[in-house]
Structure 1
């Protein structure tokens, strides 16, 4: 076996940046400069969770080994089922490959009030992918996990085997969103709803769904603007509510500013806004949301005099609908909106185990419904 790390990095699809240090190469789903200025632990971690990131290569290798460090967020002492990789060979999805060796960090690491220490580097693990007997050059995709932050250490193939970047799998679809789009509860990387939709629609995916971080950050709008997308979707609203980070006065211009920036680079590209899916605790109550001892999401009571301009999910949906329609009246007929509750609504809450995030079955249902409303014949991108 010999190292092909540099060539493998040329095959990365779905990442916007990377950091290299003595522990390896960490791929990021955010621009390096904006992330550095923000300097937020939770943003950094979720940016390094490679949801939708994969190696797309042409290779005559019969097998491939990947060394990586996998860091998961788990309450200390809680067991994990491992990190799942997916292998696709000439379009055929193989059985998932599971890496058991992971290093957990406690959620308290992300709370600046705890004084928790810096997380140390995870221990390395080796993941082996059996591609099959030598049969000439094949298209191989390795989809990285959607739960841990991943640092690549090395990629190896048998002596004499070659690796080079594969052509794009289709026109580029860029999706921006929250943990609902990062899909860390999916049972495999190709089963996140954006990945499932992209594979069904024949699109190359860049998934900018970042857990807790869909805050209409201007540097993320610039990132979307600068990508050569043929279709753009924006799953908006839930993280603004979760963090109670904006009131109506700030949310409306932030939304317009985000779209204005995207339109600077994509004046006629179809853009589909997705309003929040159902979250029972937040429908008629403003944020922030917290997680109780039972693992369920809930809101907190606030004095009535602080309620002016506070955002419930119902109000966020109404605002997004109103302002998309306003922009359409102003001439942007390539801007569309889908009500998130038509993708995952009140009748689906049995698959919402924590009251906020769908489970694997819920994500599968979202994929089916979004595919019709986006890339279907009568969809926004159809």
Structure 2
């Protein structure tokens, strides 16, 4: 902290934050969550606990004339035994909608994870300080996007000029739910995830409920969507059902209907887009589960299921796309505001030939941008399913 500056400390609270469902008060400060406490209590899965507390899409938003900003944060990083180290989280600073700085922060907690045994050993750390200096003195809209891939407890916000929270900002709210790809796996930074790219292009305010490994038609996720104010809603379903080998075809259809029924309880007429998975060659015709493996020091994934088991009801991406398209077509007879998008129009055969999935499962940073740009064009353009000019909040619960 520069000693010659007159710093103003602003309490970090709900009015300063976008994209979080709930804020937990910790011994250090505030921990943003993307599922509410009652939902977290219904599932003891440690993977879900980790990914929902990674603040993909969560950002501090305020107006200020400050030329210097400091944010004290306590990150929690992961180290997986036997696997290559994961990159540290990146914080993106946007000014008036433009990305102007990127930075990381030292310190923090470390979780040592052994995937073979399931054991987790936590190593406590201390908060670090994120610093952005040399900004202009004019009044500006500032957004600090938190890392999409590591926890970040918010400790203190300091500036050299007053901060004002933004009320509403006049943007429609887009709530999106999906898997690790929607969460941002392998994106370069928090504003580089495909939902963040699509939201910026469309001029909408993002609430990202992409939950790595946990787009599993969980009822508590549907109820969270139901209870969250939103003008435009999309759900991208399928790949995690195959990854985990979580259900068979008999259970899949009713589970999708139930998930959509719950969303409609709170958002009866909001534009609702159901998207199927992007192309993933290992699982197009081969069911799960998905198994990790190391090859030449790289983490790769393979399909561990047997294609012969599809006739017995095991799910593949081909089966899921067919099921989702039929379900949406059926529901559209009574619900004119529900729409279907084949994920292969976002990333298909030609794209895979040019930009193969590096680990066979997740797109890289370049492909995140491609998917985000295509989604913005197909979903948010004039008269498209999520056209912001048509969306109107209609949540009737809470």
1:31 aligns with 2:36: yes
1:49 aligns with 2:54: yes
Match of 2:156 in 1: 154
Alignment of 1:269-348 (within 5 A): 269-294=270-295, 295-302=299-306, 308-329=312-333, 331-348=334-351
What is the CA distance between 1:56 and its match in structure 2?
Answer: 1.0
Judged with a 3 Å threshold, the aligned counterparts in structure 2 of structure 1 residues 81 and 242 are, in CA distance, closer, same or farther, namely closer
Match of 1:123 in 2: 126
Match of 1:114 in 2: 117
Distance across 1 between alignment mates of 2:283 and 2:305 = 12
Alignment of 1:85-104 (within 5 A): 85-101=91-107, 103-104=109-110
Name which of 67, 72, 75 aligns with 1:67.
Answer: 72
**Paired residue secondary structure (2:20):** coil
Name which of 80, 84, 108 aligns with 2:90.
Answer: 84
What is the CA distance between 1:287 and its match in structure 2?
Answer: 0.8
Match of 1:143 in 2: 145
Moved more, 205-214 or 296-305: 296-305
Distance across 1 between alignment mates of 2:205 and 2:98 = 16
Judged with a 3 Å threshold, the aligned counterparts in structure 2 of structure 1 residues 185 and 102 are, in CA distance, closer, same or farther, namely farther
Match of 1:177 in 2: 178
**Paired residue secondary structure (2:169):** coil
**Paired residue secondary structure (1:119):** strand
What is the CA distance between 1:305 and its match in structure 2?
Answer: 6.7
What is the CA distance between 1:100 and its match in structure 2?
Answer: 5.0
What is the CA distance between 1:355 and its match in structure 2?
Answer: 0.6
What is the CA distance between 1:13 and its match in structure 2?
Answer: 0.5
- How large is the Cα RMSD of the aligned pairs? 2.1
Question: How does the TM-score come out when normalised to structure 2?
Answer: 0.88
What is the CA distance between 1:148 and its match in structure 2?
Answer: 1.1
Alignment of 1:178-257 (within 5 A): 178-257=179-258
User: Residue 283 of structure 2 contacts residue 303 of structure 2 at CA under 8 Å; is this kept in 1?
Assistant: yes
What is the CA distance between 1:229 and its match in structure 2?
Answer: 1.4
Moved more, 144-153 or 253-262: 144-153
User: Residue 110 of structure 2 contacts residue 122 of structure 2 at CA under 8 Å; is this kept in 1?
Assistant: no
Gaps of 5+ in 2: 1-6, 388-398
Distance across 2 between alignment mates of 1:304 and 1:351 = 26
What is the CA distance between 1:91 and its match in structure 2?
Answer: 2.4
Distance across 2 between alignment mates of 1:166 and 1:88 = 18
User: Residue 60 of structure 1 contacts residue 163 of structure 1 at CA under 8 Å; is this kept in 2?
Assistant: no
What is the CA distance between 1:274 and its match in structure 2?
Answer: 0.8
Gaps of 5+ in 1: none
User: Residue 22 of structure 2 contacts residue 32 of structure 2 at CA under 8 Å; is this kept in 1?
Assistant: yes
Judged with a 3 Å threshold, the aligned counterparts in structure 2 of structure 1 residues 80 and 212 are, in CA distance, closer, same or farther, namely closer
User: Residue 23 of structure 1 contacts residue 121 of structure 1 at CA under 8 Å; is this kept in 2?
Assistant: no
User: Residue 63 of structure 1 contacts residue 129 of structure 1 at CA under 8 Å; is this kept in 2?
Assistant: yes
Moved more, 72-81 or 47-56: 72-81
Distance across 2 between alignment mates of 1:162 and 1:371 = 31
Judged with a 3 Å threshold, the aligned counterparts in structure 2 of structure 1 residues 320 and 119 are, in CA distance, closer, same or farther, namely same
Judged with a 3 Å threshold, the aligned counterparts in structure 2 of structure 1 residues 282 and 207 are, in CA distance, closer, same or farther, namely same
Number of positions where the alignment pairs a residue of Structure 1 with one of Structure 2: 375
1:93-144 superposed Cα distances (whole Å, 9 cap, x missing partner): 2032233545543442xx5x72524423343221012262433x42211111
User: Residue 169 of structure 1 contacts residue 203 of structure 1 at CA under 8 Å; is this kept in 2?
Assistant: no
Judged with a 3 Å threshold, the aligned counterparts in structure 2 of structure 1 residues 45 and 272 are, in CA distance, closer, same or farther, namely same
1:219-244 superposed Cα distances (whole Å, 9 cap, x missing partner): 11111112221110001001111001
